[in-house]
Amino acid sequence: MNRRNFLASAAALAGSSIFTPRGFGLPQMGQEADRPWAQIPAVALPPADIGAAQYPKDFWWGTATAAYQVEGAWNVDGKGESIWDRFSHTRGKVKGAATGDVACDQYHLYKEDIALMKRLNQKSYRFSVSWPRIQATGVGPANQKGLDYYSRLTDALLAAGIRPMCTLYHWDLPQTLEDQGGWPNRDTAAKFADYAGIVTKVLGDRIETWAILNEPWVFTYLGYASGVHAPGKTGGIPTFLKAAHTVNLGQGDAFRAMKAVAPKAKIGSAYSMSPGEPATDSEADKAATARFHAVNNVWFLNTALKGRYPEVFAGSKFEQMIGIQPGDDKRMTAPLDWVGINYYRRSIISAPPAGSKAPFDQHDGFDGPLTEFAWEVWPKGLYDIVTTISNEYDKPIIEITENGCSYGDTPYGPDGGHVPDTRRTEFYRGHLAELARAMRDGANVRGYHAWSLLDNFEWAEGYSQRFGLTYVDYRDQKRTPKDSALWYAKVATSGRLDV
C-alpha cells in the first residue's frame, strides 16, 4: 500500500470493504522517442480559459520543498535523528531502500539552488526547518549551527529578491520525542511550541510568512494509523485521532509562541485538501461527502479558526475518541493570517456499505489522465476546493502551498541539456487556469507554489517519483531545469498562461 490509496485505506481501517489497490502508472525509463505517451498532453482546457488568466503583478510565484526531502546532511553540525532518518534506515520501509541521507544535498548546495530560482524568476520559496537540526532531541537549548544554516539560507533568498516562506513542521519529528510517545502524547504540543518560538525569534526579523504545519492529516494518518509513513505506527483510527488532537493543540500553542516573539509574523498552515464529489445524487452519498470534507480537509483548519471540530461528527463515537479536555477549545484556536492549500487530486465519495463502520468510502477519480504516481490529473478540483474554503471561511487569504505532478521524463538530446516534459507544463497550465478562475470568482489567492523546485526524496516511494520542475541527477547532483521550469519562468514574469 502507498500514498495512492491511503484514503481508501482510511476507510478500510475503519472497517469498510472498499480498499482497492491499483496497479502503478506508466513505466519510467527510456527516452522520449521510445515513449510516445510522454507527448500526450496531461489535460486539455479550452484556449479561452487559458487566455482569460491574468495574474496580478504582485502575485507570489514560487516553488516548494521540505527539509528531509532535499537537504541531505542528515547527521552533520549537531543535527539529531528524526523519525524519517529512523524509518528510512529501517529495511523494507522505503522503496529501493532509499534514504534522505544525501537527497539533493541542498544543505550544501543552497546557493546554487537559489541561483536557479532567480533564473526562473521566482518570487517566493517555501522551505521547511528540520526540528532535530534545531533541537537534536526535541527539547532544550537551540543548536546554533542548525539555526545558522537557516539564517544563511534566508539571507541568500532575500539577497536574490525571493521571499522566504518557512514551514516549521514538514514531518521530521525528533526521534527522541517519538520514543516518548510522539504525536499521540499530549506533551509533544508544548514542546513543538517551544521549538516554533525558538526559530521564529531568530528568523522573525527577516521572515514574515510562516506555515506552522505541513499536511497534518497526512502525517498523523499515515504515520500513526496506517503506518505507511514514519514513524510507521499502525494504531488505526483511535491513534490517529489522538495524534491529530495533539497536533491541533500544538498548532494553537505554536501560533501564540510565534506571535509573542514576532508580532508582525503572518502565520498559517499548509493543509492537504481534496475536493470530494458525491458518487451519486443520493442523500446518503452527499452526507458521506460532508463527513469526508470534515475529516480530510478541515479537521485542522476548523479547529484553528473556530476552536472546535467540524460539527458533522458532534456526539459520535469519533468525537469521544479524541479525548478533548476542558480548555482545549481555547488552546486549539489560532486566528490564522492565511490558509495554505496543497492540492493534488479530487476524491469520489459514497456512503459506506451496510454494516461498515467507516464514515465514508473514498476513491480517486478516473476521468482524467494519470500521472506516473497514478494520481488523476483534475485541474477543476483546484477551483472547487479553493472556492469551497473561500466560501466556508469568509474569504481568507489563501496561498497554494503545493500543487504538482510526477512524471519520469529524463534529459534528452546529445548534450543531455533538455528535458521535454510536456505533460508537466500542461498540468500546470490547466491548474493555473482553474486557479485564476477561482480568483475571478472572488477567492483571495495571493500565491502559488509548484511542488517542487527539484526532483527529490518522495517519502515511502524513495526516488522513484520525480515531481521536480528541475531534473536532479542523483549521481552527481547536477540540476537541469525541465522545459516546464522554463515555461513557469515566463508565467512568473508575465502573469499569463498563454506563453
Catalytic residue IDs: 215, 402
Q: Is 399 in the site for ligand FCB (CB under 6 A)?
A: no
Q: Which of 9, 342, 362, 480 binds ligand FCB (CB under 6 A)?
A: 342
Q: Select 318 or 459, whichever has its Cβ closest to ligand FCB.
A: 459
HSE value, Cβ hemisphere, 13 Å, CA-based, for 211? 33
Q: Which residues contact 173 (CB under 8 A, 6 or more apart)?
A: 82, 83, 131, 132, 138, 182, 183, 188, 230, 231
Q: Could you tell me how many helices (H) and strands (E) the chain has, helices first? A: 18, 13
Cell of 361: 468510502
Q: Is 407 in the site for ligand FCB (CB under 6 A)?
A: no
Peptide bond into 231 cis (omega under 30): yes
Q: Are strands 276-278 and 361-364 parallel, antiparallel or unpaired?
A: unpaired
Give CA–CA dist 413/78, Å, rounded.
43
Q: Which of 300, 451, 463, 487 binds ligand FCB (CB under 6 A)?
A: 451
- Give the length of the chain: 499
Rg (CA), the chain: 21
- Nearest-10 crossing angle of helices 144-159, 187-203: 50
- Nearest-10 crossing angle of helices 380-392, 422-440: 30
Q: Select 204 or 404, whichever has its Cβ closest to ligand FCB.
A: 404
Q: Select 71 or 458, whichever has its Cβ closest to ligand FCB.
A: 458
Q: Select 169 or 467, whichever has its Cβ closest to ligand FCB.
A: 467
Closest CA to 258 of 213, 301, 210: 210
Q: Select 53 or 67, whichever has its Cβ closest to ligand FCB.
A: 67
In this chain, which stretch among 129-137, 238-246, 423-431, 451-459 interacts with ligand FCB, using CB under 6 A? 451-459
Which amino acid, 355? Answer: G
In this chain, which stretch among 202-210, 213-221, 330-338, 364-372 interacts with ligand FCB, using CB under 6 A? 213-221
3-state secondary structure of 407: coil
Q: Is 82 in the site for ligand FCB (CB under 6 A)?
A: no
Q: Which of 188, 220, 272, 403 binds ligand FCB (CB under 6 A)?
A: 272
Q: In the complex, what is the shortest distance from the CB of residue 3 to ligand FCB, in angstroms, rounded to a whole number? A: 7
Q: Which of 125, 467, 487, 488 binds ligand FCB (CB under 6 A)?
A: 467
Q: Select 170 or 242, whichever has its Cβ closest to ligand FCB.
A: 170
Q: In the complex, what is the shortest distance from the CB of residue 46 to ligand FCB, in angstroms, rounded to a whole number? A: 28
Q: Which of 38, 213, 218, 243 binds ligand FCB (CB under 6 A)?
A: 218
Q: In the complex, what is the shortest distance from the CB of residue 457 to ligand FCB, in angstroms, rounded to a whole number? A: 9
Q: Is 125 in the site for ligand FCB (CB under 6 A)?
A: no
Residues forming the site for ligand FCB (CB under 6 A): 66, 69, 214-215, 218, 272, 342, 402, 451, 458-459, 467
